[in-house]
Amino acid sequence: MEHIARFFFGVSGNVIALFLFLSPVVTFWRIIKRKSTEDFSGVPYNMTLLNCLLSAWYGLPFVSPNNILVTTINGAGSVIEAIYVVIFLIFAERRSKIRMLGLLSVVTAIFTTVVLVSLLALHGKGRTVFCGLAATVFSICMYASPLSIMRLVIKTKCVEFMPFLLSLSVFLCGTSWFIYGLLGLDPFIYIPNGCGSFLGLMQLILYAIYRKNKGPAAGAVPAGKGEDADEVEDGKKAAAAVEMGEAKVNKANDDSAVDVDEQAVDKVASQV
């Protein structure tokens, strides 16, 4: 019965995790349409990529037996997250792009190191523990990466850059894999996913508090009014330019009058 329950939560974890990996599609569609990453952070996608790679490696039969469900979903997640990272690199500003490239280099180096060490230097239980620890550490980092966005939400009191579906998926995914790890008595699964479940819950609480604040987009010009608004703005600029020109003319006239008065005073003084 325990094996059936574990399999059930593993399958449900796969389904929810797939939804989690696909939930940023709306965000990246917005990035592609606007050709800008705006205030979205690329850190969570790099950390998720690293977590997927390490978790997929940990779930392989020669590393950790009876965890193939971990490998299937994290293998798919690695492909999806790699696509997100590429899109972010294309549309990010120069400074963000350099930061993202540096972070991607670190991700590649860490995964390569773990693979080589586990294959060439470790065997049996030692390999399982080493790969499990690596996956645990970076799973916690992945779940903690949205902390920067949570801080932005608290600072701005706006949830525009913390998508609800992503937060909900983090909570459900973390909870499913937490139960899966508990049933299998695998601390390398239930510890990081327990942290993920808690942080996902915190994001949902923040969303509930600030959900009515949708950011600057709420004050945008209504649809179909853009051209009228531009004409009004151009009119204001033209009027301002005319007023500035008149002010300069008046100032020049005043300066000329002052010069004439001063010359007259000097003339009278010389006669006296």
User: pTM for the whole thing?
Assistant: 0.67
| pLDDT band at residue 3 under the 50/70/90 scheme | confident
179: tokens are 């139960």
**Average pLDDT estimate for 146-167:** 80
Residues 16, 17, 20, 25, CA torsion sign: negative
At residue 225, does pLDDT exceed 80?
Answer: no
Arithmetic mean of pLDDT over the chain: 77
Check if the beta carbon of residue 6 is closer than 8 Å to that of residue 180.
yes
pLDDT at 215: 57
Which of left, alpha, beta for 185 (phi over 0: left; psi -120 to 50: alpha)? left
The proportion of the chain whose per-residue pLDDT surpasses 90, expressed as a percent, equals 25
Between 90 and 259, the higher pLDDT residue: 90
- Selection from 193, 205, 201, 92 nearest residue 154 by Cα: 205
pLDDT at 20: 80
**Main-chain phi, psi angles of 140, to 5 degrees:** -65, -40
Most confident stretch, 46-50, 101-105, 147-151, 180-184: 101-105
